[in-house]
Amino acid sequence: MGTLGRAIYTVGKWIRGSGQALDRVGSLLQGSHRFEEHLSRHRTLMNVFDKSPLVDKDVFVAPSASVLGDVQIGKGSSIWYGCVLRGDVNNISVGSGTNIQDNSLVHVAKTNLGGKVSPTTIGDNVTVGHSAVIHGCTVEDDAFVGMGATLLDGVVVEKHAMVAAGSIVKENTRIPSGEVWGGNPAKFMRKLTDEEIAYISKSAENYINLAHIHAAENSKSFDEIEVERALRKKYARKDEDYDSMLGIVRETPAELILPDNVLPEKTTTRVPTTHY
């Protein structure tokens, strides 16, 4: 049986070898238009000459994010997919428990029209929504920057303040504590209720938990991914409702269970409309 297995393995290897040879013939036929794949050269954490990012061990940095230059990220924060934190001309410091959601851009200014330049500081437990653009600003602790917001140079978002989605905050605007500013250019809209302020802190906490899951998933080795794929395929056909009708209780393997703190709470609390 050993020799049969070995023979089949060798035949498989021949078939793969001939497949690769055929691939080379096809590339030759395609000539100059052929495409050769290369390894991904994307560098998640990259030095810009002597400035290197200082990222805490608990931080989730998505592989497609770019953290470049003089950036400091504190414990428990998360930098989601596609973000760019460019600390090349000045420095960026992100506090702990903050989340910078997908496709956002955090940059700093070296010079600007006013002449006064400050590094970008994002405090603790801040939620920066999807695709936000933060350029040379200070965002203090427990603030909320809505998705798609653009914060220009010198903006200060104070604690417990909210920048509504899609707003464009002009240079050197100061957004006072406990208020919602929005629109283009951003103006005062209304004050935040206490419920909403509590919601901001809760949302930062939720994101910390979510980041752990994504971090675990993105750092899996190839073998682990394959094992889980096989497990998932096996458990795809098993429907819990059907099984409970038959009185069968199946155990989902531990790898496929998400931790409880990510799933919605059983007691439904009314979610306040926070963004406006």
Partner 1 sequence: MATSIARFSRRGVASSLIRRCFAAEAALATHTDPPKPKLTVSPSPSPDRVKWDYRGQRQIIPLGQWLPKVAVDAYVAPNAVLAGQVTVWDGSSVWNGAVLRGDLNKITLGFCSNVQERCVVHAAWSSPTGLPAETLIDRYVTVGAYSLLRSCTIEPECIIGQHSILMEGSLVETRSILEAGSVVPPGRRIPSGELWGGNPARFIRTLTNEETLEIPKLAVAINHLSGDYFSEFLPYSTVYLEVEKFKRSLGITV
Binding site for partner 1 (CB under 8 A): 20, 23, 35-40, 42-46, 54-57, 59, 62-64, 72-75, 80-82, 101-103, 129-131, 147-148, 165-167, 183-184, 210, 213-214, 216-221, 224, 228-229, 232, 235, 252, 256-258, 262, 264, 268, 271-273, 275-276
- Closer Cβ to partner 1, 3 or 268, answer by number: 268
Cross-strand pairs, 105 = 84, 133
Nearest approach, Cβ of 248 to partner 1 (angstroms)?
18
- Closer Cβ to partner 1, 54 or 114, answer by number: 54
Q: Is the separation of the CB atoms in 187 and 207 below 8 Å?
A: no
- Label residues 113-134 b or e (16+ Cβ within 10 Å = b): eeeeebbbbbbbbbbbbbbbbb
Nearest approach, Cβ of 200 to partner 1 (angstroms)?
14
- Closer Cβ to partner 1, 53 or 154, answer by number: 53
Could you tell me the two tokens for 126?
């801040």
- Label residues 171-209 b or e (16+ Cβ within 10 Å = b): bebebeebbbbbeeebeeeeebeeebbebbbebbebbbb
Nearest approach, Cβ of 142 to partner 1 (angstroms)?
17
CA–CA dist 160, 162 (Å, integer): 7
Nearest approach, Cβ of 86 to partner 1 (angstroms)?
16
User: Which residues does 205 contact at the CB level (< 8 Å), separation at least 6?
Assistant: 97, 125
Nearest approach, Cβ of 154 to partner 1 (angstroms)?
22
- Closer Cβ to partner 1, 116 or 190, answer by number: 190
- Closer Cβ to partner 1, 113 or 276, answer by number: 276
- Closer Cβ to partner 1, 137 or 210, answer by number: 210
Nearest approach, Cβ of 123 to partner 1 (angstroms)?
11
Which 3 state secondary structure label does DSSP give 164? coil
